[in-house]
Chains A and B, each alone.
Chain A
């Protein structure tokens, strides 16, 4: 490949643009491509569009025409009415849920990274066995064990209706996928860095925090953001283990399902629930727009 590159350079062919205009680079083709992309974008934005537009409308307007833009005269009234009803429905659990998701995401990331570090860089006799022990779990459907897991957490640990019980099982179950993802990326890091660090007498903690994590920061952030929205969006497990200390998604599902909240207020509720994810989306945008993280993806 190197030779080939050199070859290209030495031949000094004319600049690409002028000589080899591919058919798709012509203006008409570009316009068609852009149109298709924009149509896709519009459809992707449909739920978001509905949410924002309808959160600013009074109920009868939503029911008659969901697409119509908000009536400017009633916008203030609609906002006050919709958002206060929405906040009444979910406000109590809002910050609790965010905090729980943050703690859970931190725990899942630390557990996944530590485990991956051990299985990537440590050399010990039962390594393959331990790796197999972890990786076989990926084949088991995650919901298979709930009939056993629920009594375990509720009765044996006495952690039913407790956010700790809610998180502990999630962290315990998530460690495998985290480990697997991180291990794939850690194993691509240059070995020489580690060897020199070891020669300089750095211990494992230093290596992990000073070399491994900085090198794998994008993927760690990716995983952290994924964990956060995963816990934030979790529905099934929360519905099984929590009674009074609810999570946002469960409350949202319950109020929509029971018909307690409708039309404009419902959409206002979605907007409120979206706010924490804006931050995760900004982080994702910054790091993953280029799609570089996907290069090392393997199974």
Chain B
């Protein structure tokens, strides 16, 4: 067909080029538009050397919230715009205030700040607490944060204690502020009168006044002793609630406390002297130490350590001054050097008894004890606080048999909500129902199941209380299930209304979720662990903010972006092609021909485009993306696209598993190739040699039957039934008097065990059988006439004629063997690593996609080289045949 090129053709080509160029331009513009519209999570990460660490997040009085950034900074963010409103250097400001006030009593070396909000009836304050136990009052004025003139609420060292205390929670009821502090495993709740604080006079109204003489104005809560995790601390109504990790609730009655206090005197010194012949000083020392530490140690292994330390000593003398000025650690060292072992024994015994006296009351009427040391009359006063069963000032309610996760309190509903790990439902506990709860009663007795809120099948609630967060602005709960990547919102006003709010990449521990009044998640604080520069794990937080209804838009815009990207690439190429064709008549002619051909086959191209889009979407995009990804430190938690100079590859080559895994891969490769070709061919030959065709027919039918077992089931049968502890191999070994062997984890046997799965390897015979049956009978007849034996017949006639089948099996086995991940994974043979198994582990366990992709790329290169070499050999063969 000769095509003449006319001016009209040229014009047409030109026109087409222009049309496609304009389509290209439009698509490009749309692509850029969607790229700009794409919602992006604003992530504040705290993990690099130069980046700021975010260690806290708290919602403000309105829809705003505050971060604790780095060592010294508080910064305020707007929850709608996600923009920083201001930044406040807390250390500098407070130091300046200290200097201004000339206050030298407060130690200026502040450590790790935390921020708290206090929402009183007339006070909207921010409190800054540091690790020394100092609590400073801040307020906001004219859009900036300031240190209040009555700046200090609590001085960290004012108790005169040996160790500092940390603030665990602050909340307020009316004009009272409650603070939960932790010190050496003890928890203290202190009540402050905000009215008095406001007047500039630091005056406290305590819930429990423990001792008049030592000014130790803290209340120790029996139920909280030990390092129990506190998940929330809430003051509401007349009560203060402390919720513990694992699900217990401690309820303190703020009103009843003061009324039920009785004093009782107990001549402890006398009793101790009579019994143990201890000296006064010894008793004093004992008391100081055990009062501070004993109960905290009851549950802790520290006790053993410290007892051992004391036992090492011999004699001791100590003065009151020394005790007051020293630290617990110093005293213990002193004891270790000086204390006699007999004295220690008696100290421990009496100490235990005394502590038990207090502890035994925890379940009964005596709620707590405290002491007043009086050296002059050698009496120790124990002030006991008796309460009636009906007038308890604290309740300790245990979670019960079921493990419950997460516990939040809705002030609006006046109810607790918790999740139950065993059945996956959310439970509600009405506060009113708790009123009659006895000490030590179980939470489940007061709970009602919310039928409408249940984990999806296969999911469970996150443990440690980190999977649940309360948004008081919208009275709703955010739940992060343990094995889902989604955040679910439950509206507490309407329990049936709950939905998946956002899907995240990867798993994480959720710490705090800040939502605003529209029930939009604005910021999620989640914990991540990465490896620091020195190789140590660095825990940090990622805080991400999301747009309103982010999920729907995200998917849509992403798809639109990809569609227009693809369209612009295609139209750009076509436009360029047409434009370039204008250079010569010959190319115009070619273009004309192609255009005609395309027009004729337009339905073919239309149909093909569907397949090609699928191909690109599900094959090319992945392959190219994975190869690209292998050059970056791309992990699920921190997707970074920064070139890392082949670090992933270097890491792979330097892993100690690398060479063994290559060895295993080659071992399996060679073995698989042999067992997938040699035994099936021999089996096929034997079948052909059977004279009785009915028998052969039956055997071939029977050979299909083992195939009814699903491959995973077959592998599991091998793993459990054959190689397992009670498997038949071990049953045989034991019958022979041997010791059972763990076949799959044994260093010598594991590889062979994996290989022998599938014995006798004849399953793939059919392809060879079919090939041999198609060898023309005439060849055999001719062979027979020439007196060729059966073995020679196979070697010289049959096998050369089934080379295509052998090649097919060879290549598919080659590719399959290198990629065989199920073998090592399903059989759980952890001693045998292969590159593909490492790749799977990198992808799933480590979530290091960069490393995983690097493994995949290496496997790809190996396979590509092998298959390309094979094709080249085939080509050479074909050329040989032609000659």
Q: Contact residues of A with B, CB < 8 Å?
A: 1, 4-5, 8, 16, 20, 22-25, 29-30, 33-34, 36-37, 39-41, 43-48, 50-51, 54, 62-67, 111, 114-115, 118, 122-125, 130, 133-134, 137-149, 151-152, 154-158, 160, 168-169, 171-173, 175-176, 229, 232-233, 235-236, 240, 243-244, 246, 248-249, 252-253, 256-257, 262-263, 266-267, 269-270, 273-274, 277-278, 281, 284-285, 288-295, 297-299
Contact = CB atoms under 8 A, between A and B. Distances in A.
Contact of A66 (B695, B731, B763): B731
A123 B551 CA distance: 45
B502 to A, nearest CB: 11
B628 to A, nearest CB: 9
B459 A47 contact: no
B701 A148 contact: no
Contact of B864 (A139, A295, A297): A139
Contacts of A142: 819
Given A253-B712, A288-B770, 4 more contacts: A123-B601, A173-B619, A236-B821, A277-B708
- What are the 10 tightest A-B residue pairs by CB atom distance, in nearest-first order? A145-B622, A291-B770, A294-B770, A172-B618, A144-B856, A147-B849, A172-B614, A148-B625, A124-B601, A249-B712
25 contacts: A36-B686, A41-B702, A118-B604, A118-B607, A137-B615, A137-B623, A141-B863, A144-B622, A145-B626, A147-B626, A147-B843, A155-B555, A155-B558, A169-B618, A172-B614, A173-B619, A243-B456, A267-B721, A270-B710, A274-B709, A274-B710, A277-B708, A277-B710, A291-B767, A299-B811
Given A244-B458, A252-B712, A277-B708, A298 B703 contact: no
Contacts of B708: 48, 274, 277-278, 281
B617 interface: yes
Nearest to A285: B704
B699 interface: yes
The interface centre, meaning the residue of B559, B601, B701, B712 with most chain A CB atoms within 10 A of its CB, is B712
Contacts of A122: 601, 604
Given A175-B615, A291-B769, A44 B621 contact: no
A157 B700 CA distance: 46
A130 B720 contact: no
B604 A124 contact: yes
Contact of B718 (A47, A48, A233, A267): A47
B712 A45 contact: no
Nearest to A173: B618
Contacts of A36: 686
B670 interface: no
B260 interface: no
A34 B821 contact: no
Nearest to B802: A294
A103 to B, nearest CB: 16
Contact of A155 (B505, B714, B719, B819): B505
Contact of B611 (A20, A111, A158): A111
Given A8-B781, A299-B804, A47 B622 contact: no
B867 A139 contact: yes
Interface residues of B, number: 125
B705 A23 contact: no
B604 A274 contact: no
Contacts of B859: 141, 144
A3 to B, nearest CB: 11
Given A41-B699, A43-B760, A292-B773, A50 B808 contact: no
Interface in B114-132: none
B18 interface: no
Contacts of A16: 781, 784
B784 A274 contact: no
Contacts of A141: 815, 818-819, 836, 856, 859-860, 863
B722 A295 contact: no
A118 B689 CA distance: 42
Interface in B597-621: 597-598, 600-601, 604-605, 607-608, 611-612, 614-615, 617-621
A8 B783 CA distance: 13
Contacts of A169: 618
B778 interface: yes
B218 to A, nearest CB: 47
A152 B774 CA distance: 46
Given A1-B778, A130-B608, A160 B483 contact: no
A133 B616 CA distance: 9
Given A118-B608, A145-B626, A154-B503, A48 B687 contact: no
Nearest to A172: B618
Nearest to A249: B712
Contact of B618 (A48, A54, A149): A149
B75 to A, nearest CB: 30
B615 A172 contact: yes
Contact of B716 (A34, A63, A246, A253): A253
Contact of A24 (B612, B689, B726): B689
Contact of B459 (A44, A157, A236, A244): A244
Contacts of B617: 152, 172
B728 interface: yes
B355 interface: no
B50 interface: no
Contacts of B860: 139-141, 144
B212 interface: no
A270 B707 contact: no
Contacts of B594: 125
B508 to A, nearest CB: 15
Contact of A277 (B709, B762, B770, B808): B709
A274 B844 CA distance: 29
Residue of A30, A40, A171 ringed by the most chain B CB atoms within 10 A: A40
Contact of B690 (A8, A34, A124, A229): A34
A229 B707 CA distance: 10
Contacts of B731: 64-67
Interface string B850-879: 001100110110011001100000000000
Contacts of B784: 16, 20, 22
B597 A147 contact: no
B636 to A, nearest CB: 9
B789 interface: yes
Nearest to A49: B706
A57 to B, nearest CB: 12
Contacts of B608: 115, 118, 130
Contacts of A249: 710, 712-713
Contacts of A4: 778, 782
A293 B728 CA distance: 37
Contacts of B485: 154, 160
Contact of B619 (A62, A123, A140, A285): A140
A257 B483 contact: no
Among A36, A46, A168, find the residue whose CB has the most chain B CB atoms closer than 10 A: A46
Contact of B707 (A33, A67, A284): A284
Among B456, B593, B623, B710, chain A packs the most CB atoms within 10 A around the CB of B710
Given A66-B728, A156-B559, A144 B626 contact: yes
Contacts of A248: 710
